[in-house]
Amino acid sequence: MVNARISDPLNAFCKDTNAYLEGIPGGPLSNMTFAAKDIFDIQGHVTGGGNPDWRASQVVAKETAWAVGILVDAGANMIGKTLTDEITRGIFGENAHYGTPVNVNAPGRVTGGSSSGSAAAVAGGLVDFALGSDTGGSVRVPASFCGLYGLRPTHGRISLKGVLPQSSSYDTVGWFAREPEIFAKVGSVILQSDGTNELPRRVVIAQDAFELLPTNVFDALQPSVQRICSLIGQQSSARLAETSLSEWRDQQGVLQSREAWETVRNWIDETNPRFSFEVSERYVLAKNISDSDIESSRKIKSQVLNRMNDLLSDKAVICLPTTIGPAPPIGQKLSDRTDLRLKTSQLTCIAGTTGGPQINLPLAHVDGMPVGISLLGCPGDDEALIEVARRLRVAN
Amino acid sequence: MVNARISDPLNAFCKDTNAYLEGIPGGPLSNMTFAAKDIFDIQGHVTGGGNPDWRASQVVAKETAWAVGILVDAGANMIGKTLTDEITRGIFGENAHYGTPVNVNAPGRVTGGSSSGSAAAVAGGLVDFALGSDTGGSVRVPASFCGLYGLRPTHGRISLKGVLPQSSSYDTVGWFAREPEIFAKVGSVILQSDGTNELPRRVVIAQDAFELLPTNVFDALQPSVQRICSLIGQQSSARLAETSLSEWRDQQGVLQSREAWETVRNWIDETNPRFSFEVSERYVLAKNISDSDIESSRKIKSQVLNRMNDLLSDKAVICLPTTIGPAPPIGQKLSDRTDLRLKTSQLTCIAGTTGGPQINLPLAHVDGMPVGISLLGCPGDDEALIEVARRLRVAN
């Protein structure tokens, strides 16, 4: 019962729902189409969350999620719900139940996840923009892999009302677009803001983040880094972590995982749901996190926050790679995928921890495949990051 | 495509295979029907193992499992393959993919597993007997819950050729029947033995095993214990474990789990299969067992073996409850099921560790539901245990 309005050669849309909302005429997003990840409630439809046993345990939503509603009110037509990794647990987009959306910009490669179908639909031109969510990288990673603009906004900036939660201290609503002007227009609506003309005052290049990259990816990103530095003006370099970014990742992994487990533990206990082994493994490890692990992770978190506060002073933004490289092939071994997830999380954990916004700019390619560069700001800097995206495109 | 020969009101049979083998006329099992758990290879059919992703990664079997073949050669008609817990990991019979077979002798209750469909089919009269397997209790537990005769034979006594392995140091082929005469006839064929007229010389009642039972179950089993003691003659009581049966269980759990993980780790890494959370959790915990856990479990195992050798000297058998009580309700919470599995494994671990045979005798009821009593012997005592079953019935 896929929506008859949608031709879906990319396996981007959910096949078991037919959600459609017509935009209210006359708004700033009139005549645009969008899709929403299947974690956003749509009145009268079941929110599937990428897992058939989750879906089976839900009732139809009584209200439409806030973020969807405001876009429809602004004129955009919501034409379908998109595939997600199970309960948003994943950054690669290979769903063991529903398959893998197609990445038109990197054939044979994953789209990234967990907002996999949303990224696939935008990259493939099936919609003008799409809603996703980002807890541990789920907008930023697919934006990088699919060559899209994508924002993880300031934590708490966009209402999570009607969105399936994963880890509430880290969950955010984000969106994708191919073009910065459309990206900015959606931003004005969903951030309820007129935007800004002001750019960040200075760029700090995150040395230890770039050191994680293979040489070819490092080299491919340099022209984009230079363009960003030229636009903003003042630049410097710094190592973010006094110890290592893997320590930063681990504290975030522990704290996010504990919350993710608390979110679903009763449901799991009651229904013994089917997950891919990969997803179950993360929950089992989360279940076994000790209180002393939590305590020591909290201490490291506060060190990260202090360090990032210093680095971001005086309207700075951090420039870092969004991912370790372009999208990996579909069907990698679990062990290889786990390694890559852990490497990637050294980059994505930072905004998760600070709660600040991070934008992916789709400015580079490696071997013909997209790979993104990111800017990360202080909480509230969302508009300034979007303005960088807009101006870089204008300057092109 | 369920076998047209089978009416299956009990959800005992696999729906995705149509295996049938006609018995060779004139043998000792002529005109009998049986079923085989879907871990036994049947030439020309895929062995599903209770998991759709396992099934999808298999090719059709080139040969029929040894145990099935010898029964067919003896005249029995194999009329279908039966449901199993996923990859035999479970003792309750609730399969998250294929549902729960019906226990006709305890409505609303599980059949027990992992040989769930085989036990359901025999209890419900759909076949005369059925093949199962027992690694950690998978014949003994459903025999107890369904009110059937069931044997975990001496380890290595019945060939595992063509049987999906779980943990090779613990895997055994077993069978179920409603009647001791049929049970014994099948035993003669599959054990390739003329049986014995000799009974064990003495019974040792396992005090610490009986202490695990709630009072009503303890009381319900006493008449059966007395019948067994009267038949065999000499009786005594002893505590099996110098420390506790939970320590005995834990060493077996560690050693079996490590083997179970080694059996599937490459397949899991390559295919990221879907399991119920319960099954994944056991594999994840197994994956994280340390070498020092293995080492200390091996030490305890050798203490168990020494102790059991002493207790079983002079042709003794141990009398113990098969399970903690009758079958639990279908749809228990995972945490409750895990608790019950751990309690039950204090009983089932013993034969697993010694490699000796254990027979379930369906001699008792609690609240109208079957609950079994067990006899456990030295390796090689299979026939003597079967003879006890036969004589108890004759004496009835």
Of A96, A270, A334, which is closest to B269 when you measure between CB atoms? Answer: A334
Which residue in A394, A370, A396, A38 sits closest to A197, CA to CA?
A: A394
How far, CA to CA in Å, does A316 sit from each of A152, A206, A324, B45, B169? Answer: 17, 12, 23, 65, 62
The predicted structure's pLDDT at residue A16: 87
Q: Which are the contacts of B8, defined by CB distance < 8 A and separation ≥ 6?
A: B2, B80, B126
At B117 the three-state DSSP class reads helix
Q: Give domain B202-245+290-394's CATH number out of 3.90.1300.10, 3.30.200.20, 1.10.760.10, 3.40.50.300.
A: 3.90.1300.10
Find tokens 């010389």 and name the residue: B201
CA distance linking residue B185 with residue B200, whole number of Å: 20
- DSSP class of residue A378 equals -
The predicted structure's pLDDT at residue B2: 47
Is the torsion defined by CA of B221, B223, B227, B230 positive or negative? positive
Q: Is A37 a catalytic residue?
A: yes
CATH topology of domain A33-190: Amidase signature (AS) enzymes (3.90.1300)
CA distance linking residue A134 with residue A158, whole number of Å: 12
Report the b/e string of A18-41 with b at 16+ CB within 10 A.
Answer: bbbbebeeebebeebbbbbbbbbb
pLDDT over 90 at A373, yes or no = yes
- DSSP class of residue A17 equals -
Of B97, B281, B333, which is closest to A280 when you measure between CB atoms? Answer: B281
Q: Is A116 a catalytic residue?
A: no
Contact criterion met (CB below 8 Å) for A150 and A140: yes
Of A53, A97, A284, which is closest to B280 when you measure between CB atoms? Answer: A284
Q: Which residue of B has its CA nearest to A335?
A: B269
The predicted structure's pLDDT at residue B17: 86
Mutation site, A87, A272, A338, interface B, largest B CB count within 10 A: A272
Is the torsion defined by CA of B342, B344, B347, B350 positive or negative? negative
- DSSP class of residue B86 equals G
Contact criterion met (CB below 8 Å) for B278 and B88: no
- Alpha-carbon distance A276 to nearest alpha carbon in chain B (angstroms): 4
Catalytic residue, from B81, B114, B297, B345: name it: B114
Of B94, B270, B284, which is closest to A280 when you measure between CB atoms? Answer: B284
Averaged pLDDT score across all residues of chain A: 96
Tell me the pLDDT tens digit for each residue of A53-85.
999 999 999 999 999 999 999 999 999 999 999
Q: Is A236 a catalytic residue?
A: no
Chain B residues with beta carbon closer than 8 angstroms to that of A270: 333-334
Contact flag B272-A276 (C-beta cutoff 8 Å): yes
Residues linked to residue A321 through DSSP beta bridges, in sequence order: A373
Tell me how crowded residue A211 is: count the other CB atoms within 10 A of its CB: 10
Chain A residues with beta carbon closer than 8 angstroms to that of B96: 53, 272-274
pLDDT over 50 at A1, yes or no = no
CA distance linking residue A74 with residue A396, whole number of Å: 29
Tell me the pLDDT tens digit for each residue of A29-38.
999 999 999 9
Averaged pLDDT score across all residues of chain B: 96
Chain B residues with beta carbon closer than 8 angstroms to that of A284: 280-281, 284-285
Contact flag B274-A334 (C-beta cutoff 8 Å): no
- Alpha-carbon distance B280 to nearest alpha carbon in chain A (angstroms): 6
- DSSP class of residue A33 equals E
Domain ranges of chain A: 33-190, 202-245+290-394
Tell me the pLDDT tens digit for each residue of A301-352.
999 999 999 999 999 999 999 999 999 999 999 999 999 999 999 999 999 9
Helix B334-354 and helix B277-287: axis angle, to 10°?
Answer: 50
Residues linked to residue B112 through DSSP beta bridges, in sequence order: none
Q: Which residues of chain B have pLDDT under 50?
A: 1-2
pLDDT over 90 at A393, yes or no = no
Tell me the pLDDT tens digit for each residue of B228-243.
999 999 999 999 999 9
- The residues on B that touch A, with CB distances below 8 Å, are 53, 94, 96-97, 268-270, 272-278, 280-281, 283-285, 287, 333-335, 337
| ipTM over the 0.85 cut-off | yes
The predicted structure's pLDDT at residue A3: 57
